[in-house]
Amino acid sequence: MSSRALTALKHAEVIVGYKTYVELIKNIIVNQEIISTGMTREIERGAAAIDQALSGRKVAVISSGDPGVYGMAGLILELLEKKGELNNIPVDIIPGITSATSAAARLGAPLMHDFAVISLSDLLTPWEIIEKRLEASANADFVIVLYNPASNKRNWQLKSARDIMLKYKAPSTPVGIVKNTARRQEEIYITDLENMLIYPVDMLTTVIIGNKSTKAAGGFIITPRGYTV
């Protein structure tokens, strides 16, 4: 969390968020009103936040990581546009630290060259589209960051993604797996494409798959930028 985000939370009158994220900031909450809902109720939360803002209250809508990367920022703007209030309510989108960069920092320097970020969740995006994006980015030799690799109900997508990667990347390609990045119970694994499926993953896990130049050395994953060293 950035200091700017922390300041915004402390000055908010209302905090709106997914209940798990609200729990993560409970030490910051003092007198703010809390509006929280469970998974898949983002539109409901967004509408509630807008109603509170229209009543004149200062509202903070929270996301995990960066609000503009698979977060709530886009939905809030879409809802405001639909209501015709996009130019009537001041909106300040405060950047955060998304899982791609926070997990990469724990692994070393795997994102030093071009990379693609792909969510494996097919709740909002059809799997056929996700599959095409995996094929294209693997074929182009991007370093690939996978968000939402698995859940209790989705346990096959990561294997399918790995099978696509193996069509274009060597089995020895370094893979970094970070669960609960920078939180309690953080877990970090460095492995390779061939063996990545033996490690535990869930919705709080980020998987980074290297390109043809990526290497594992000294407990780190490094993707060379192209310097002559």
What is the pLDDT, as a whole number, of residue 164? 98
Q: What angle do CA 226, 194, 97 make, to 5 degrees?
A: 55
- Going residue by residue through the chain, which has 229 residues, state the pLDDT in tens, using 9 for 90 and above: 899 999 999 999 999 999 999 999 999 999 999 999 988 899 999 999 999 999 999 999 999 999 999 999 999 999 999 999 999 999 999 999 999 999 999 999 999 999 999 999 999 999 999 999 999 999 999 999 999 999 888 889 999 999 999 999 999 999 999 999 988 899 999 999 999 999 999 999 999 999 999 999 999 999 999 999 8
Q: Is the pTM of this model over 0.85?
A: yes
User: Which three-class secondary structure state does DSSP give residue 103?
Assistant: helix
CA distances, 121 to each of 8, 18, 136 (Å):
30, 17, 18
Residue 153 lies in a domain: yes
What is the pLDDT, as a whole number, of residue 184? 86
Residue 22 is part of which domain span? 3-83
What is the pLDDT, as a whole number, of residue 85? 96
Residue 92 lies in a domain: no
59 & 125 share domain: no
User: Which CATH number do you get for residue 61?
Assistant: 3.40.1010.10
Residue 93 lies in a domain: no
* Residue keyed to tokens 């409970």: 26
What is the pLDDT, as a whole number, of residue 19? 94
197 & 108 share domain: yes
Residue 214 lies in a domain: yes
Residue 70 lies in a domain: yes
Closest CA to 50 of 32, 35, 71: 35
Domain count, the chain: 2
What is the pLDDT, as a whole number, of residue 1? 86
Using CA atoms in the order 32, 38, 41, 44, what is the torsion angle rounded to 10 degrees? -30
146 & 110 share domain: yes
DSSP strand pairing (187-192 vs 174-179): antiparallel
22 & 110 share domain: no
With a CB cutoff of 8 Å and minimum separation 6, the contacts of 5 are 94, 96
